[in-house]
A and B are shown apart, each in its own frame.
Chain A
Amino acid sequence: MISAVTGRRREGPAPSGSSRRLRRIDHAVGLAFVAPVIIGVLGLGLVPFGYVIWYAFHDWNPLVGTFTWVGSANFSQLMGDSTVWASLGVTLAFALMLMVLNVTLAMVLALLLVQKLPGTTTFRAFFFSPVVVSTVAWVLIWNFLVASNGGINGVLSMLGIMGPNWLRDPDWALVTLVVIQVFKGVGMNMILFIAALQNVPADVKEAARIDGASPRRVLTSITLPLMTPTVLLVTMITLISAMDVFAPIQILTQGGPGRSTTVISYLLYRTAFVQQDFGYASAIGVLLFCVVLVMAALQWGTRKRWVHDEV
């Protein structure tokens, strides 16, 4: 890389001493701008993750003060632990439901609210506002709404409908959490889609209309294909964030009823900080990392088939 750059430079006049100095200053300034991110990723991401891998090979109970090398015992236990695999299933179900609902709703809202009609700004603010609300406050409000004697069932009752016990019925608890999370995050995805919609060249759509394309055809053959890079970004971010959901589960269900809402990140938390088995929890953390990595890689790997402009 360095020699290639040097080679190109040789084609032009040799840089003077002052331009070299300016380039060095440019590099230093650039490095200074990215340094916080690099330090953050290293210090808060990669280095701790290295520790997690190291801990996963130990039996570590900080309360008792034990820290013993156990080799791959934690991973062997992981393979035969039905609780972990059940949690993984719950996690995947949660993440997929959340991603599909969130992205679909965000797209519909974006298509509606990109129109230049009276009131669209108000509606955009309305749907975006949960994004800036504290997660804990948001979840506590929903706790009152979805209590079996709460606001939603109160309204249903007035309509003559007996609502379910949203958080205590194993058939409803996970779906309820998904809905709460969708409304919390859909505003951000909606804004990203609106930005993408506004970037679709008007002349391309106009050309399609002149060629006789119906509005639906313009949407499916012009608008949506040109938005696919944003769709890829949104689905990846939504899926990855869904895989490490924690606050609503801790506040609303504590993983129950039974283990119907025990996603793997919550199981990890309980194993480490409640059961004080930090070594095994680290092994669960490594598994979670692998699962997220595989899912992100799958999305990235299939992008050429459906993302516009990918080669």
Chain B
Amino acid sequence: MTVWTGNEGHHEIFEAIAARYIEENPELVSSVSFESLPAATYVDALTTQIAGGEAPDIAWLMESYAAQFVDSGVFADLTPTFSETEGYEFDDLIPGAIELWSRDGNLYGYPFSNSPFGVYVNLDLIAEAGQENPRDLIASGDWTYDELMAAAAAVSSTTDAAGFLPHDDPYTNWNGALGQMWLAWGAAPWSADGSECQFTDPEVVEFFDWFHTQVYEVGAIPLPGEEFDFASGQAGFMMSQLSMSTGLGDDFEWDFVPLPAGPAGQVSVVGQGGVGVVAQSDHPEVAADFLAYFTNPESTRLLAQFFPPPRTSLLTTETLADAAPALSAEQLQSTVIDQSVEAVTKAGHPQMSQINDPIRVRLDSLWTPEGDAASVLAQVCTDIDPIISGN
């Protein structure tokens, strides 16, 4: 049996779980191999291998492609196997965490990593810029995106560093960078079933207009083509997840705080990594049985060394301390655990592969000082309507 993942560093724990499964089920499987692929080209590689008839039995997938893979039938239904597996504790799964991977009450993928987004803060830089500590703003109820951008602009204007870095490059990966943020505007760029373009909705236009202003007028966010690295102390703030904490040393003082509030209030957002059984694989039934073992409460406790689990019973500071030893108990509780339970999963579209490029190309005309969000987003809908309307 072959399992594909995007991270080689996790193999030791994967293989330990697999070894136990093989020992307990020698009649089902003789070996499990885990193969790592670069995350940036993971979906391309997965598609290529499926096209070449070399589909893995189980594949890892990020949340932005979950809807597409579930809707198109790439992943097999896991519900019969999971519900029949003794001790699986299906009800322990956080409902909001599995929603993206479910259709009509059936589960097609398991979000083994359920990691909330937060904001990393370079405390040295904000002190140098004379800005208030975000923890104080949270305490006073003033932790908003506008306050964040004001502080970021101060950092940018008074130091050599950038102000605020989104989670990804907003100019080439619009959904990966902005999808966490626009939810705080109440914005939904497409309808729930993905068939209707809503980029022209007032909330969406307001969000993109606001972001454009932060880039070109406020100066809080780097311009297109500028390169900065938070871990090297080159930015005041960066939106990311708890896994980034492992790459931060003690070169500067930092904190990890919850997402700020937007016009629609504070919306906690999680990014997910899920696993599913590839329906076209050679051993889908055995793969589903292995996946049930791989994601049962006992295995999930082991996986929690790396990934925030989607199980309520395991969302504790003790469990997560292994995943992010650099984070304090307060940071884990306030920024990870408290946000996880009620969080919304970052949106993906059932035809993300088809709409990603046309939207990126059209948004390029927004990323100029004169860019006008309303007219550009209207063009976005004109471009993608023919693609999504038949959905």
A-to-B contact residues, CB < 8 Å = 60-65, 143-144, 147-150, 165-168, 254-259, 270, 273-276, 278
B48 touches A63 (CB 8 A): no
Q: Is B224 an interface residue (CB 8 A)?
A: yes
Closest to B73 in A: A64
Instruction: List residues of chain A with CB within 8 A of the CB of B223.
Output: 148, 165, 168
Q: Is B74 an interface residue (CB 8 A)?
A: yes
Q: List 23 A-B contacts (CB under 8 A).
A: A62-B50, A63-B68, A63-B69, A65-B73, A65-B280, A143-B227, A147-B225, A148-B223, A148-B224, A149-B222, A165-B224, A165-B225, A166-B225, A167-B225, A168-B224, A168-B225, A254-B172, A255-B361, A256-B172, A259-B361, A274-B357, A276-B353, A278-B51
Cα distance A276–B73 in the bound complex, in angstroms = 14
Instruction: List residues of chain A with CB within 8 A of the CB of B226.
Output: 147-149
B44 touches A256 (CB 8 A): no
Closest to A253 in B: B172
B367 touches A257 (CB 8 A): yes
A144 touches B227 (CB 8 A): yes
Cα distance A309–B365 in the bound complex, in angstroms = 53
Instruction: List residues of chain B with CB within 8 A of the CB of A273.
Output: 44, 47-48
Question: With A148-B224, A165-B225, A168-B225 given, is the CB distance from A62 to B47 under 8 Å?
Answer: yes
What are the nearest 10 A-B pairs in CB distance? A62-B51, A148-B225, A168-B225, A273-B44, A168-B224, A257-B364, A147-B227, A165-B225, A149-B226, A258-B364
Q: Is B356 an interface residue (CB 8 A)?
A: yes
Cα distance A277–B74 in the bound complex, in angstroms = 15
Cα distance A149–B72 in the bound complex, in angstroms = 42
A270 touches B367 (CB 8 A): no
Across the interface, A275 reaches (CB within 8 A) one of B50, B74, B224, B353, namely: B353
B318 to chain A, nearest CB (A): 40
A275 to chain B, nearest CB (A): 5
B73 touches A258 (CB 8 A): no
Closest to A143 in B: B227
Q: Is B171 an interface residue (CB 8 A)?
A: yes
> Given A149-B227, A168-B225, A256-B360, list of 7 further CB < 8 A pairs?
A62-B47, A62-B51, A63-B69, A165-B223, A255-B361, A256-B172, A275-B357
A259 to chain B, nearest CB (A): 6
Cα distance A120–B51 in the bound complex, in angstroms = 51
B49 to chain A, nearest CB (A): 9
Across the interface, A258 reaches (CB within 8 A) one of B48, B354, B361, namely: B361
